[in-house]
Amino acid sequence: KAGVTQTPRYLIKTRGQQVTLSCSPISGHRSVSWYQQTPGQGLQFLFEYFSETQRNKGNFPGRFSGRQFSNSRSEMNVSTLELGDSALYLCASSRSAGTSGYNEQFFGPGTRLTVL
Amino acid sequence: DAKTTQPPSMDCAEGRAANLPCNHSTISGNEYVYWYRQIHSQGPQYIIHGLKNNETNEMASLIITEDRKSSTLILPHATLRDTAVYYCIVRARDDKIIFGKGTRLHILP
């Protein structure tokens, strides 16, 4: 079974630009979560989507947005890029979502975004 | 919010058991404890999870205290390839997933 894939793997942008990152979950998984990882802040939760609906959102400004398609693939968008947005963006998929029950997440390799 | 507290770093001699503690005193009754690890610049890798009982798989064992306020991940025979950051995770009350800073485990040859 193919794992979580993320494209592109590496990206260089300049301040003020916008960027779209893509995530394809494991087949059969309906939940996709996004995380930002930086050396200073560690792994921080961005948002979670399940069946095309955003279930939860982390404490990030409105410049960060996402969506999920009917085939469970997800995209996240960052507008008006700032230097501090340079990070590894990780996507994770799971079969379901929710606080109860077993809900293992499988992570992709990440997209490394550099903002100059 | 349900949070986890882990020591920032630990050392373990190669071949010995590595015991990584995690405090999750605000965990609720139906929340699972998950452990992941992240090897440099890769996506986190699932290790094990548990609810109330101790669990074991091919990678590790998970010991959860009876009051569920803490747990310990045990790598029975640590190797150099186990050098990584280990994250203990519980699902928060508001349903957000909080990773915390994790424990950086150094395996010493």
Main-chain phi, psi angles of B81, to 5 degrees: -70, -10
B31 with A105: Cβ contact below 8 A: no
Neighbours of A71 (CB within 10 A): 10
Helix (H) / strand (E) element for A46: namely strand A42-50
CB contact (8 A) between residue B32 and residue A45: no
List residues bridging with B18 in a β-sheet: B75
pLDDT in tens, B35-80: 999 998 788 999 998 888 899 999 999 999 999 999 999 999 999 9
Question: What is the tens place of the pLDDT at every residue in A63-114?
Answer: 999 999 999 999 999 999 999 999 999 999 988 776 555 678 899 999 999 9
Chain B residues whose CB is inside 8 A of the A56 CB are 94-97
Q: Which of B28, B31, B43 sits opposite A109 (nearest CB)?
A: B43
Q: What is the pLDDT of residues B74-91, one digit of tens each?
A: 999 999 999 999 999 887
Most confident of A67-71, B90-94, B96-100: A67-71
3-state secondary structure labels for all residues of A87-100: EEEEEEEECCCCCC
The pLDDT value given to residue B60 = 97
Q: How many CB pairs under 8 A join A and B?
A: 62
